[in-house]
Amino acid sequence: MSATKTGIKVIVVGAGFGGLTAAIECQRQGHDVEIYENFPQLKVLGDIISFGANAGRIFYRWGQGEVVSRLKPLCINLKDYGFRIHKYDTGEVVYHQPSAPDTPDAPPMHGHRGELHKVIFDYARDDLKIPIHLDSPVTEYFEDESQAGIVLKNGKRVTADVVIGADGVRSKARELVLGYFDKPKSSGYAVWRAWFPATEMAKDPRTKEFCEHGDTFNGWIGQDVHFLFSTIKGGKNCSWVLTHKDEHDIDESWSFPGKLEEVKEVLKEWDPLCTAIIEKTPPTALVDWKLVYRDPLPTWISKHARIALLGDSAHPFLPTSAQGATQSMEDGVTMAVCLKRAGRGKVQAAVRTYQDLRYERVRKVQKTGETTRDLWHKTDWAKVRENPSSIAFPREDWIHGFDAEKYAEDNFADAFKAQTEGPAPKAETPLGMTANASPAVVA
């Protein structure tokens, strides 16, 4: 790594995909970066997560393909199988969507969140030697015109030129940026989800076909409910998610142990194959994950523009967009480019430019989560028979063909000029923000 040193000191709070990407890209662009993370040790947590080709393109630049070659073997391979969409009750396959064409330097990837996260975490810490301070919960943020900083639980203060708050959906950085606590609201939906060994699945004649010929991906769609099921690791692991109506109130935590009986109740009129799959789930593997709404934040950056929100802390996504983690990565790439192009004397304008380059795109991609959910939950079956591909999972070029680094490099100059020479910069009204934007949706 031989980027020219910029002398810009960056603190990243949070070592999720957003924070790790921001740190890796800041180092690539020549900044000095350190990460502060709450968890005391890395654990392989979560279940299925998706990365679009627009994330694959970012991963591919890390170690010139090396990181992709570490991730790929962990991911689902649907080259032969594709994605099969079933009508919820009869189980008939209404559309068989072939796998996306191979793009080796921008591979879309889907796998276990914890396993993929470990690869990126290890790359940042062990290959790049980025300092990652674990067991370091940040309790306060501060800034003035010339610097920003954090206070750790143990009282230690650390300062930098810029602080990136990549601290997830329950962000503390967001409180500082907004000046108030932004309470999440129920979206009316929840997701039951599970990942477990396919041992029992392979024994049942009804389900063994999903384990014997490599990886598979199937979805059943019905009114207000959809069920996605995949087998991974050559059919040795399986994972399912079931999105359904849920009226429960949201409180501080929105991930709970789930009850298999409740899942079966929702699926009782459905293709019996769905229940056969559900029955194989070890009860401890089941998670009940509430989907909450959050109004779009008026701004992602602090008053003095030295603290910026990034990833879920700024803009959580619905799982049906399959873009939450990917968009957090695009944020990190963009921030690193803006800081490099602006230079150490113009950090605040760089941070404002980061927001301007990202805001509009993020809102547009967030919307696709609602569009896909509604497409599946309000299916007109007669129309699907006329045009089966109308039910396909959208694979739009403006999302997946996007190169965040190139976009930031190409558009930096104009956006920066608008910030520094235009009318007085107003962080409250970023480019592309519409007055009556509808609520953003949160995973």
Ligand X SMILES: *[C@@H]1O[C@H](CO)[C@@H](O)[C@H](O)[C@H]1NC(C)=O
Ligand Y SMILES: Cc1cc2nc3c(=O)[nH]c(=O)nc-3n(C[C@H](O)[C@H](O)[C@H](O)COP(=O)(O)OP(=O)(O)OC[C@H]3O[C@@H](n4cnc5c(N)ncnc54)[C@H](O)[C@@H]3O)c2cc1C
Which residues would be at the binding site for ligand X (CB under 6 A)?
Answer: 195-197, 199, 233, 236-237
**For residue 255, what are the β-bridge partners?**
289
Residue 426, classed as helix, strand or coil, is coil
- Residues 6 or more apart from 65 whose CB is under 8 A from it? 105
Which CA distances in Å does 233 have to 112, 278, 386?
Answer: 10, 19, 35
Q: Cα 329 to the chain's mean position, in Å? A: 8
From the list ligand X, ligand Y, none, which binds 113 (C-beta under 5 to 8 Å, kind-based)? ligand Y
Nearest to 243 by CA among 298, 188, 295, 281: 188
Q: Which residues from 49-78 bind ligand Y, rule CB under 6 A? A: 49
**For residue 259, what are the β-bridge partners?**
none
Nearest to 221 by CA among 385, 394, 92, 386: 92
Comparison of 2 and 284: residue with beta carbon closer to ligand X? 284
Binding to ligand Y by residue 47, rule CB under 6 A?
A: yes
For residue 237, the minimal CB distance to ligand X (Å) is: 4
Binding to ligand Y by residue 358, rule CB under 6 A?
A: no
Active site residue 341: no
From the list ligand X, ligand Y, none, which binds 166 (C-beta under 5 to 8 Å, kind-based)? ligand Y
Q: Which residues from 89-128 bind ligand Y, rule CB under 6 A? A: 113
**For residue 96, what are the β-bridge partners?**
84
Whole-number Å distance between alpha carbons of 149 and 251: 30
Specify whether the CB–CB gap between 171 and 309 falls below 8 A: yes
Binding to ligand Y by residue 35, rule CB under 6 A?
A: no
Report the amino acid identity of residue 310: L
From the list ligand X, ligand Y, none, which binds 236 (C-beta under 5 to 8 Å, kind-based)? ligand X
Which CA distances in Å does 213 have to 95, 195, 231, 281?
Answer: 20, 19, 10, 21
Read off φ and ψ for residue 352, nearest 5 degrees: -65, -35
For residue 365, the minimal CB distance to ligand Y (Å) is: 13
Comparison of 50 and 218: residue with beta carbon closer to ligand Y? 50
Helices and strands of the chain, counted as H and E runs? 13, 19
| Candidate list 174, 193, 294, 352, residue with the active-site label | 193
From the list ligand Y, ligand X, none, which binds 443 (C-beta under 5 to 8 Å, kind-based)? ligand Y
From the list ligand Y, ligand X, none, which binds 367 (C-beta under 5 to 8 Å, kind-based)? none
For residue 411, the minimal CB distance to ligand Y (Å) is: 23
Binding to ligand Y by residue 19, rule CB under 6 A?
A: yes
For residue 195, the minimal CB distance to ligand X (Å) is: 5
Of 32, 34, 42, 46, the residue at the interface with ligand Y (CB under 6 A) is 46
Q: Which residues from 166-225 bind ligand Y, rule CB under 6 A? A: 166-168, 172
Q: Which residues from 128-147 bind ligand Y, rule CB under 6 A? A: 137-138
From the list ligand Y, ligand X, none, which binds 420 (C-beta under 5 to 8 Å, kind-based)? none
Of 184, 311, 369, 425, the residue at the interface with ligand Y (CB under 6 A) is 311
For residue 395, the minimal CB distance to ligand Y (Å) is: 18
Read off φ and ψ for residue 271, nearest 5 degrees: -40, 120
Task: Count residues binding ligand Y (CB under 6 A).
Answer: 30
From the list ligand Y, ligand X, none, which binds 196 (C-beta under 5 to 8 Å, kind-based)? ligand X
Whole-number Å distance between alpha carbons of 1 and 62: 10
Of 246, 271, 312, 356, the residue at the interface with ligand Y (CB under 6 A) is 312
Kindly state the tokens that stand for 8. Answer: 């810009």
Binding to ligand Y by residue 332, rule CB under 6 A?
A: no
Kindly state the tokens that stand for 387. Answer: 């045009």
Beta strands 9-13 and 32-36 are parallel
Binding to ligand Y by residue 300, rule CB under 6 A?
A: no
Binding to ligand Y by residue 330, rule CB under 6 A?
A: no
Specify whether the CB–CB gap between 317 and 369 falls below 8 A: yes
For residue 230, the minimal CB distance to ligand X (Å) is: 13
Nearest to 18 by CA among 408, 325, 351, 442: 325
Contacts with ligand Y, residue ranges (CB under 6 A) = 13-19, 36-39, 45-49, 113, 137-138, 166-168, 172, 311-312, 319, 324-325, 328, 443
Active site residues: 193
